[in-house]
Amino acid sequence: MFQLSLKNLLRNKRRTFLTGASVSLTLILVCLLGAVLTAMESAEGSADNRIVVRSAISLTFSLPESYWQRLQQMDHVLAVTPLNWFGGIYKDERPENFFAQFSCDPQTLLDVWPEYQIPQDQVATWRQERNSFICGQALADKYGWKIGDQIFIKGSIYPVDLTLTLRGIYTEPNAPSAEKSIYFHRKYLEEALGNPGQVGTFFLRIDSPDNVGTVVQHAEAMFENSEAQVRAETEKAFSLSFLEMLGNIRMFLGAIGAAIVVSLLFITANTMAMAARERTSEVAVLKTLGFRQGHVVRLVMFESLAVGLGGALVGLGLAYVLVRGAARGMENVFPIFGTLAVTPPVALLALGLGILIGLVSGGFPAWQAARLSIVDGLRKLA
């Protein structure tokens, strides 16, 4: 029986290939969307005790440096550090040479990110040298940087260029994407800019994730009547806000995924129905030979399941490769996507959809074949 199903699949190779390819393509998209949604969910859902305070108007607006001290005095706040996005050009403007560059306060940065592991002697040297910087291990490995190396960064947002000396390399085993940034002295940049006293964002470490909500409320309330109102949010919500600028991404992606799957279901079902209809007379012959309804149903269902499952497996394999590539390509721009992966739940979803497509698309032709009257089927031959 299965031999006949397999041979039937190869009867019209082009149609089988195109149908399988459409299933694969759809499930690649589902896997990509699933990986993105999973990355977003995991970023938003995990517990966090870091808060970002920034201008309520937009990220492009700065806050007065004087807010730093007031934020430090709030209840439950363990440490506050200012961070400015420099966004300069290293070597050239190719995306592969893009990485995050922050001006920071070396005295407080590691109080807010205590999980960064860096030798104390390197920290001490970095804090003393105004034109020095620290970087993550992954970035040092990528460019072959060693302690004492100098790099040149051309400013693109700020009208200054920086020559910095590497004095420390940190690691963060739990967040590999965090190892792709550099941190240099805020005062070095401030002096070059004429000491404007402006800060892009403040990062706060809170004593407990339970108090995050309270601190967020108090921080926003504290500056409600100030010249520069603030928006406070968790660090991960802050990361997601870059994406949310595009709209309700999750709902958008989910709707696209559902539309694709439903469309494909109709296309595949129609193709399978066409293939089954072409063989109406053969089904009648099989029944004449003594094949029962159950045999005929299995014959048709095996074909459609083979297309659905085969397409799903190929799609999954390709999606795995593509997602890995996308993660590598996007992690510099959106570090949150550095963790993009086809997770087991997404893989199971894709396989399940492949099976569902096979079952649903084969179901109606199988039902028709089972109900086919032998006489009607044979009559189509005449």
Partner 1 sequence: MSDPLIQLRGVTKVYRRDQFEIPVLEGIDLDIAEGEFVALMGPSGSGKSTLLNLMAGVDSPTSGRIVVAGSDIAQLGEGELAPWRHRNVGFIFQFYNLIPVLTARENVELPLKLASLSRQDRRLKVETALELVGLADRMDHYPKQLSGGQKQRVAIARALVTAPTFLLADEPTGDLDAASASDVLDLLGQLNQEFQKTTVMVTHDPRAAERARVLYHLEKGQLQREHTGAV
Q: Which is nearer to partner 1, 112 or 283 (CB)?
A: 283
Any contact of residue 380 with partner 1 (CB under 8 A)?
Answer: no
Segment 40-69, which members bind partner 1 (CB under 8 A)?
none
- Please state, in angstroms and as integers, the Cα–Cα distance from residue 139 to each residue in 28, 115, 125, 277, 332, following that order: 30, 17, 20, 60, 10
Q: Which residues contact 352 (CB under 8 A, 6 or more apart)?
A: none
Distance CA 297, CA 299 (A): 5
Least distance from C-beta 283 to partner 1, angstroms?
11
* Site of tokens 């020095």: 132
Contact 343, 35 (CB under 8 A): yes
Q: Which is nearer to partner 1, 203 or 302 (CB)?
A: 302
303 three-class SS = helix
Question: Which of 307, 283, 292 has the alpha carbon at shortest distance from 362?
Answer: 307
Q: Which is nearer to partner 1, 235 or 303 (CB)?
A: 303
Distance CA 133, CA 1 (A): 69
CB atoms within 10 A of CB 226: 14
Q: Which residues contact 338 (CB under 8 A, 6 or more apart)?
A: 176, 177, 180, 327, 330, 331
Residue 148 DSSP class = T
Tokens of 229: 């109102």
Any contact of residue 368 with partner 1 (CB under 8 A)?
Answer: no
Segment 10-39, which members bind partner 1 (CB under 8 A)?
10-11
Least distance from C-beta 288 to partner 1, angstroms?
5
Q: Which stretch binds partner 1 (CB under 8 A): 196-204, 228-236, 344-352, 372-380?
A: 372-380
Segment 67-86, which members bind partner 1 (CB under 8 A)?
none
Q: Which is nearer to partner 1, 12 or 38 (CB)?
A: 12
Q: Which is nearer to partner 1, 262 or 374 (CB)?
A: 374
Least distance from C-beta 267 to partner 1, angstroms?
24
Least distance from C-beta 94 to partner 1, angstroms?
53
Q: Which is nearer to partner 1, 55 or 280 (CB)?
A: 280
Question: Which of 106, 123, 128 has the alpha carbon at shortest distance from 186?
Answer: 106
Segment 236-295, which members bind partner 1 (CB under 8 A)?
281-282, 285-293, 295
Q: Which is nearer to partner 1, 10 or 251 (CB)?
A: 10
Number of residues lying near partner 1 (CB under 8 A): 23
Q: Which residues contact 344 (CB under 8 A, 6 or more apart)?
A: none
Least distance from C-beta 291 to partner 1, angstroms?
7
Any contact of residue 1 with partner 1 (CB under 8 A)?
Answer: yes
Mark residues 292-321: x for contact with partner 1 by CB under 8 A, - for none.
xx-x--------------------------
Least distance from C-beta 17 to partner 1, angstroms?
16
- Please state, in angstroms and as integers, the Cα–Cα distance from residue 114 to each residue in 49, 140, 299, 312, 355, following that order: 12, 20, 62, 43, 47
The whole-angstrom distance between residue 234's C-alpha and the CA centroid of its chain comes to: 18
Residues in the chain: 382
Q: Which is nearer to partner 1, 194 or 290 (CB)?
A: 290
Can you give the binding site for partner 1, defined by CB under 8 A? 1, 3-4, 7-8, 10-11, 281-282, 285-293, 295, 374-375, 378, 381
